[in-house]
Amino acid sequence: MANEQEILAAAKKSIVDYDVEKAAEIAQQGIDCGIDPVKMVEKGFVPGIVEVGDLFDTGEVYLPELILAADAMKAGSAVCEKKFPKSALAEKKRVVIGTVEGDIHDIGKSIVAAFLSANSFEVADLGRDVAPKTFAEKAKEMNADVIGASALLTTTMEMQKKVVEEAKAAGLKAKIIVGGAPTSEEWAKKIGADAYAENATEAVTKIKKLVGLS
């Protein structure tokens, strides 16, 4: 029978190999062997998705592989989460994410949502063409820790500002992060957002920082 380190290494490999079925199988094997399911995710699957994210950033893997890795991560994590202690589930950070009103681009946003789910965040993906008020209403409903607003067009950037305004008007404590091709650190500061991310891996890193996980 494989020991703990071998199982954790196999969990990481299943993500790097984009193997959805293997990820779920290894997750169950780890649980059957008595490995803490939270540890399975944090020490097994997360290092795998981080490695793939780094390879994507350097151009060594491409979008299809990134999505497959995220799918494998979700499959393994889903098995583990069924065995998470209630305390771990209660501590999960919540994120509302979407592409702003008037903008129908959602691939980048969807990758961020998948990465966040893979990193054990509770994610409400609102999709694309989302009104500012909808962001605020959903964040209030689920007591979100973070709101992520994506804009891929210069003509829709202004909607990110409206998302910030709606959140503040609703008295929400959620941190707000923005991203998308035409946006920047300067833009985020100008509209009162808490952070800006250039890509999916940076978004996860910054969101973790916003909620005190790093």
Strand pairing partners for 122?
A: 94
Give the global pTM: 0.71
In tens, the pLDDT along 134-162 reads 999 999 999 999 999 999 999 999 999 99
pLDDT at residue 86 in the model: 67
Residue corresponding to tokens 């989460």 = 81
For residue 181, the tally of other CB atoms under 10 A from its CB is 14
- Per-residue b/e over 61-72, b at no fewer than 16 CB within 10 Å? beeeebebbbbb
* Residue 90 predicted with pLDDT over 70: no
Tokens of 78: 């889903």
What domains are there in the chain, each with its CATH number? 4-88 (1.10.1240.10), 92-210 (3.40.50.280)
Question: pLDDT band at residue 119, thresholds of 50, 70 and 90?
Answer: confident
Mean pLDDT for 76-103 is 84
Cα gap 117→61, rounded to integer Å: 21
Average pLDDT value for residue range 26-53: 89
Query: What is the pLDDT, as a whole number, of residue 1?
Result: 61
What integer pLDDT is reported at residue 138 of this predicted model?
98
Going by pLDDT thresholds of 50, 70 and 90, the confidence category of residue 84 is confident
- pLDDT over threshold 90, residue 206: yes
CA distance 191 to 186: 9
3-state DSSP assignment of residue 123: strand
Contact (Cβ atoms closer than 8 angstroms) between residue 155 and residue 182: no
Mean pLDDT of the chain: 90
pLDDT of residue 88: 57
Provide φ and ψ at 10, rounded to 5°: -70, -35
What is the sign of the dihedral through the CA atoms of 111, 116, 119 and 123?
A: negative
The residue to which tokens 């993500």 are assigned: 15
With pLDDT > 70 as the criterion, what percentage of the chain qualifies?
97
Read off φ and ψ for residue 115, nearest 5 degrees. -65, -40
Q: Which residues pair with 148 in a beta bridge?
A: 97, 177
